[in-house]
Structures are given as structure tokens and as C-alpha cells.
Chains A and B, each alone.
Chain A
Amino acid sequence: MAIPKIVGIETEFGIMVRGTTDWNPVSASSLLINAYVGTDAGGLEDRSGPIAWDFVDEMPGADARDMLAPEFSMPPEVETHLVNAVLTNGARYYVDHAHPEVSTPECRNALSVVLFDRAAELIVIDSMAAAAKVLPEGQEIVIYKDNSDRKGNAYGCHENYLLDRNLPFGQIINAATTHFVTRQIYTGSGKVGSELPGVSRSDVPYQLTQRAEHFEEEVGLETTLKRPIVNTRDEPHADAQKYRRLHVIVGDANMSQVATFMKVATSSMVFAMLEDGAYNDPILIADPVQAMHAVSHDITLSKPLTLTDGSTATPLEIQWDIFTRAKKWSEQFGMEAVGEESGSQALQRWEQTLHGLESNPDQLASSIDWIAKKRLLEGFMERHGCDWNDPRLRALDLQYHDMRPAKSLAQRAGLETLVTDEEAARAVYEPPTDTRAFFRGQCLKRFADKVVAANWDSIVFDVGDDPLRRVPMMEPGRGTLEHVGTILDESADVVELLEKLGA
């Protein structure tokens, strides 16, 4: 039986300060986030400062391959001194390395992820406005939702899926690798040129994704160098006996809500199928790292990949295979694990998208980022009589991801939306009701002055004279409106809440 595919995404944003050459990304990111959480926009107006992230359970060095790891892996660093806030919608907003990053709250399905990803965009937009008020005249912080500076530096949009601990990791590796390499045909955000040494502009004028070229390994623990297609970080932020959190680092950040939806929904289905034993024999690609690059470089989507059995298949054919199995799985097992509504919408989209990619990809310019961007680039070239070498195309490529509404090209590209901005504006403050993020967010909304710190799987309260009280939340599917709504409503203060919870 597949367990609920609770999922969240974390986006590292690109950052620039305009109007000065004297700036560094760490302080700019801190200023941006502090400016946001220091205003009413932060949703914590009852408190003097933001609620801190609690690092006590973090162990990003833990490796899913267990004892194999220490021989060839270094644990990633955790920078506990940087700005790190928890928001009332259950999200985390912080400085990660040299980037501002938003982690959505835990979501119950892919549609909910789209809502909270759009909320994250609104948070970033509000943050730029808040920062403008404290920056010197003539300076401006600009945020980009992309994954690469096109000079060899990449930053991630990571997905996290709740998986059953009993599912053997080897099975996850096989199925995930095949899906991650081939889903690029609809998840890519598009990039002008190549960042690989020795690949010229004429070899690759335009490619599907920003991230693909930054992957060098099939499986591993790293996230900042020698990036692996399947990341083995084993940090469930939940009951480790029951759950695994698959940390997925291969994806592009999407401007298109449909692309974000498909990326998360199709992957959720792949993992649910695995747990139901309905996907035991995935097509296996012979050289996944090389294929990762090759798929991204082939905008014709026609070049076949070599499989482990010596035969070949195009990424589209492989996606048709995964889709067909997913459809069959949904008929046999139902889609409770991925959410019925989200799941059936995803299957429809998946089929339409594969048909579109097969017959006339340009038709998908309102839903798939790399196609939407390509339309702008080709239109620009035709109008101005220029070719791929024109620097304005590279500017256009970057500006597609500009988060300023007045400058964003994605905003103007006619992309279809799945959530309204009114809904997303509510989701800036309101947590999802159907995961433990509800309890986290509600506690921050109601008892902000008593919350000392919070993280994914616990909240620490200060109830006065007593020692600090930690409430563990090891079940991502509990602490929902259904579970704790009444208790929260009936508790006049934190002491009463803790009594009722038996904590």
C-alpha cells in the first residue's frame, strides 16, 4: 500500500543588488529576509523578531546507503548562524549558502505544492519591496527564480517526497533515474547556450534545462559539487523507522505552474507506484549522466537513448511507458496516495503534454517553460534579425526568471495558471490544512510569543517558569485541521494546548 505522498519543494533564488558594485550575496539575502519578516508582511506582527529555526534534529550528512557513505562522501554543512525564519503558512524562509531560499510547507498533493510555490513567489516579491525601503537610494535587490548563472554556478529547486522506509533504496534509484532523466522534456525551464567546457554556442544554442549540465554522478550525497541524479541524503524529518524523505535535486525551478504541477505530480505517482509494487521493471538507461545532458541538449526530442539491454528509446517513448504504467496503476490501486483530484488532473495533463511534445511542441508554449521561453527567443531573433550569439538573448533568458512583476518576462509570456493570486495571497499566511504544517503554522499564528523555535518535526514552547517544552511532530500526516483544529480552537493559551495534547 502506497503511503500518502506528502511533498514540499525548496527554491534557492538567484540574487543581485543593482545600483552598487559593493555588495555580497550573503548580506543581501539576509537583508531581504529580515526586511520581510520585520514587516507586517511577515505575518508575525505580535512578536519583536522572527521565530528561529531549530537545528537540533538536522543531520544532512546521513546517507541512505548507510555504511557505504563515509568512504566517499563529506557531509554537507549546515550554517546555523544565518537568518532563518518560520512563517505562519508553515514555510521556512532562510539564507542558504549565498542565496535566499523558501521551503514550502509540507503539502498533501501536487496542486497544493503549486499553491505554496506561488505563495513563495509572492513572499519574495513582497521581500524585494520591503528591502527597497531600507536600502540606500538608487539601490535595489533583484531576485531571479532560476537555477544557473550560465557561468558554471548552479543552485537548486529541490523536491522532497515522503516514502515508505520499507521500499528498497535500489528500486528507488532505478525508477527515479529513468524518470528524472526523461521528465526533463516537460520540466525544463530552458537555457541559452551550454555551461559544459568544450561545448560551443553552435553545438548547443538552446537547451531544455538549466540544471542538467550540473550533474556528474548517478547516485551520491553531495548537493554542491559532483551532483548526483539520485541524492542519498537520509534525513526524514519524521519517524525514521517508518519513513524516508527522498531529496530530489535534479529539477529546474519553474515559472510555469503547470510545469511545477507536472514535475511533482508525475514523480509522486512514480514513487506511489513503486510502493504498490506496480513499477518493478522500469526501462533502464545505460549511461544516465550522459543521457541527462543529451536529453537536455536535444530540443528536437528525437535522439534515442541507449538502454541497458542494448536497445534504444527516445525520452518521449520512455515517458509514454511511465505514463501508461501510471494510468494502469491508478485504475488498479486508486489515487488516494497522491490525492484523487490532483492525480486525475495530472494523468490528463501528462497524456496531453506527451501528445503535444510528439506532434507540435510549440502548442505547449502556455504550459511548458522551455517552450514558452523558446517562443520569446525565436520571436525576438526574427524581429531584430539577430542570432543566438546576440547578448540580448542571454539577457532575455535571465529576465524570463526576474521576480519583479514590472520586469518578469515569464509573467508576460501568457502562461496558464492553476491557482489564482488571491488564493496564493491567502497561502502566504495560511498553512495547508491537511499536513502537520497546519499545526506549525497555527501555533505561530496563535501563540507566536510563546514559540521559541520550530523545525519540520517539532515546536519548542516557552511556557514561563517551566523548562522549555518540545512538541514532537514525527508524523507528517498528523497535526492537520481534522486532528488538532478543535484542540487549537478550544485552547485559550499554550499551557492549555499542551495539556490537551498531553505533551
Chain B
Amino acid sequence: MVSAVKRLAAGLLAVVGAASVGWDGAAEAQTSVKIGYAISRTGPAAGGAAVTTIPNYELWVKEVNAGGGLKLGDKRVPIEVVQYDDRSSAEEAAKALERLITQDKVDFILPPWGTGLNLAVGPILNKAGYPHIASTAVTDRAPELAKRWPNSFWLLGTSADAAKTLVELLVKLRTEGKIGDTVAMASIADGFGIDLSGAARPALTAAKFKLAYDKTYPVGTQDLSPIINEVKALNPDVFIAFSYPPDTIAITEQSRISGFNPKIFYTGVGTAFPLFKQKFGANAEGVMGIGGWNGDSPAIKDYLARHKASAANGAEPDRWASAVTYAGLQMLQQAIERVGKVDRAAVINDLQSGTFDTVIGKVKLENNMPTKYWWVGQWQDGEFYGVGPSGNEGARAPVVPKPAWKAQ
């Protein structure tokens, strides 16, 4: 029984002791804008964060500070960064954000990487009244979440929209007589694969495509050759893989080896990564995948050059969420500068209603979501151009059929 007393006393001391440490950091004159973020530097989400998120945060802060800082009224105020590692854990991310808000008293918070972590921190940012610009989260509940948390902005759209755009493109190509109507679909048994295949399945059936193959494979599958061999035997016109980066590479590699070359070859997350081009070189040509950007626009070309100059080892951005992440930062900056002071409610208001000039073009949100997304991209002449939706500014015509694999 003595034991229990000690434990409780220790717990009490810990709470009280920790609380007393926190009472510092009194309000000071606005000599800097404190921007905080918790990002996955370790754990399963570290790879995605290292490609898509961290280089953009660093690029943006460096550029803003090189220009004197954020413009608040008639003076410029530099950005001061406070950052933590969320260790790819929802609990850790939640705690880190609560620390940023109550201990570090940051002025604004940049989002974590990935769908799960963005959803995990949503309620905290909403309660504390911080704008939440989720630029790496794809969720079908985005419209509902935007209503639930009016401070949250979902820049990457919904997976249902992604699948719908892909099917629309297929319908158009079939009408043009470029492809037939047999489709083979493989998807990873994880959030992304399930959501996308779940949306694509009814859309394909409704568009009267013949789904010759429709199977899932577990996360971490190393050998994908059985799937490719089985699909190759069915000789489909269209092959769709809703895959994650490791399997995107493995599926493409296996298809090249076994000479499986359908008219349309589409793979999932990772197709838009610079790594894909490095790995496959000329064989990337004609491969379609999720994402894409307007590679001919001067803004994108300029962004690509600046990103390469700023990132470690001259790393290139990915051709999907990277530019969107950077655009999200530009939107935050423009909203803050238009408001002219650290007034988070006003900044949220401006994000909801304002028009923003970004690397991905003019953005005006409707119900806290953009109206235009790139959903289908294709490697053409060493660049991953957006091809769908075809109505987007800068959309290229898809190259169909895909050229044959070259011997390496």
C-alpha cells in the first residue's frame, strides 16, 4: 500500500513539476514569426516526409528569410523555426503539436506528412484555432472534415476523385479507339490501395470496362512476379496498380523483365518520384501514374530549379505532392501578409476566401478544397507531365500506346 502512495506522489510531482517548468515565455514584441512543425524524421513515414515535405519547408523558410522575412504591415519579420520528430506515431505527433502550441507558443504550425498523421492532429489544430493546410493527405472524407474543422484545408483531394479521373481518361481513349476494354487492376492492401480500388471498381464497371483481374497484395510483398505473370497471360489493354513506392518500383521492374507492355501502364505512389526516373531512365517513358504537374509552366520550372539548388544533394521534388506542399506554404505566406499581423482567425478566413498566386497556378479554395487537381501523370521526355484531367491548364495529350520497354 505504501507503494501506491509513492507511485501517486511521484505522478503528482511529475505533473506539478512539469507544469512549473512551463511558465515562462511571456508575450514579447513581434520580432519574429515562430513557425513550428512536427515531422517524421524516423519511422515508417520518414521516407515520404524526406522527399515531399522537409525539403519544401526548408526551401520556403530559407527563401522567406533571405527576403527579410514575412511582411507584417510595413516591416519584415524573419521566421523562427521550432521543430520536432513525431517518430511516425500519431500519439507522438499529437503531443508534439500540443507542445508547440502551449510551450513554444508558435504563431503558425505546418502540417505533418501523410493522411493518418494529418487526421490525428486535426482536432488539436482545430481546438487551438490554428490553420491546418493538409497538403499530403488524400482522404475521401476531406469534404466532411473541412466542414467539421473549418480551419483545415485539404489540398490533395479525395481518392474517389483520383479514380474517377483515371476512368474518365480511359473512357476518352477508348472512344478515340486507342485502347480496348480489358482492364487488369492490382492494389496494395493498405489505406491508399483499398480506397482507390474501391472507387475505381464501380467506376470501371459503370463505364463498361471488363475487369479481367482484380486482386490485392499485402504490404511488404517482395516478389511481385506472380501477379505480373498472371496479368500478362490475360493480355489486358490497361494495367492499373494502386501501389506504394517500393512495389511501384518492383512492379515496373518485373513488367520490364517479363516484357509485359500493355497500352496503358499505370502505377501508384512513387511513379512521380525523381527516384523513378533515376531508376528506369528511358524506360520510364510512357508510364502513367498518380499525380503529375504542368511541367511546361515557367513557375514550375523555376520551382524545380530552386528546389534542386536548395535541397541536400540537389534532390528534385516529386511531381505530385511536393509542388502542392510548396503552394500550401505560399498560400499561408500570402494570407499572413494580407492580414498583416499574427491573427490566426483572420488568416483562416483569408485562406477560405482569398485567391492565391502559387507555383501550381492561381488557387482559390471552395469549401476549403482546391477545385483543380492533377490525378494522372505520364513520363514524357524525362518529365512527369499531368495528362488528366484533360481540362487542366497545361495538360498534355497522353502518349498511347506506351512505347515498348528498351533493353537496358
A and B are partners in one complex rather than unrelated chains: no
